[in-house]
Structure 1
Amino acid sequence: MSKKEWVYDPQSGGVKIPDKIKPIIRERILSHAKENYSGKYNRIDVRFRSKFCYIDAYIEPYVSPDYDPELFGGKSREERTEELREFPTHLCRLRYFGDDNKWTMTYYSYGQMNDEPCYFDNGTWHGTPRRGI
């Protein structure tokens, strides 16, 4: 009979994100996006739920000049463009472990249709919203 061994999994567990640090984290993320990706998005949405911080981007959609309203329920090209502007692009999810340097991150893989674990730019599973986003 084999012995059971404990294995650390950085993609499980975590603690609820305190309300007092949510505005700080939101500002860090938005500041980073503005400094590094300005002009590539219309807006960034940062949401908190329990131990998770979700980051989504809203981008200016491309609607083909030969757009066919029949394919989209009779919506005009302008209506379809406006509808797509409100459709988020899921970027990543941060998991909080109770310390500013103890976050893990997953990016949303549209190919796999789920969250995929990733390392921070420091080469470890753990980092802070100041780096690696």
Structure 2
Amino acid sequence: MSPKQWVFDPNSGGVKIKEAVKQRTEKRIRDYAETHLVGRYTRLEIRFRGHFCYADAYTEPEPPGPNWPPPDWPESREEYLERLRDTPFHLFRLRYFGEEDEWGLAFYSYGNNKYELSVFPTGEFFGTPEVALQTAAEFHLRSLDFRTSSK
């Protein structure tokens, strides 16, 4: 029988995030969003738990068509829009391993209702919070100007 070997798994472990790192990371994410993602979200929520950093975005929903809601729909048009405004897009979860520029990345799978290990556009398992945000925004966030956005 061969001896057991330790193998690094980017989808497990991590280091508890210190308060100073939390503050710097949140500032980095917000600064990047305010500079590069203007008009693509209405509110950004960033939270930390243990060795994870989560980012969610709230958006203004596209106005429904003139026949909305259907006659048997359980909420009014205004209630429907408010519910959508209050429903976040889970942008990403970062896993902290002790280096502020090398976080693990997971995207939320709405099909499986959990975060799934992902790679950065470079093909690496580690990257910066800014690249994670830009990558997630390209997938989840579109322009809020419905008159000029492509469908």
**TM-score, with length taken from structure 2:** 0.76
TM-superposed deviation, 1:105: 0.6
1:75-127 deviation line (CA, Å, top 9, x unaligned): 32112211220111111000111121331011112233322222224432122
3-state SS, counterpart of residue 115 of structure 2? strand
1:34 alignment counterpart: 34
- In structure 2, the partner of 1:113 is 113
CA distance in structure 1 between the aligned counterparts of 2:130 and 2:81, rounded to whole angstroms: 33
Query: In structure 1, how many angstroms separate the alpha carbons of the residues matched to 2:107 and 2:79?
Result: 30
Change (3 A) 1:4 1:45: same
| Structure 1 partner of 2:66 | 65
Residues 47 and 55 of structure 2 are in contact (CA less than 8 Å); yes or no, is this contact kept in structure 1? Answer: yes
* Residue of structure 2 in register with 1:80 after alignment: 80
Deviates more, 1:18-27 or 1:59-68: 59-68
Structure 1 gap ranges (5+): none
Between 112-121 and 15-24, report the one with greater CA deviation. 112-121
The answer for the alignment partner of 2:5 in structure 1 is 5
2:45/2:56 contact within 8 Å kept = yes
Q: What's the offset of the Cα at 1:5? A: 2.9
Question: Once structures 1 and 2 are overlaid, which stretch shifts more, 90-99 or 111-120?
Answer: 111-120
Query: 1-side partners of 2:13 and 2:106: how far apart?
Result: 14
> Is structure 2 residue 19 aligned with structure 1 residue 23?
no
Question: How far apart, CA to CA, are the structure 1 residues paired with 2:27 and 2:71?
Answer: 40
Which protein has the bigger helix share?
A: 2
Given that residues 69 and 76 in structure 1 are in contact (C-alpha distance below 8 angstroms), is that contact kept between their aligned partners in structure 2? no
C-alpha distance in 1, partners of 2:41/2:28?
A: 17
Size of the alignment, in residue pairs? 131
TM-score, normalised to structure 1, is: 0.85
- Same amino acid, percent of matched pairs: 46
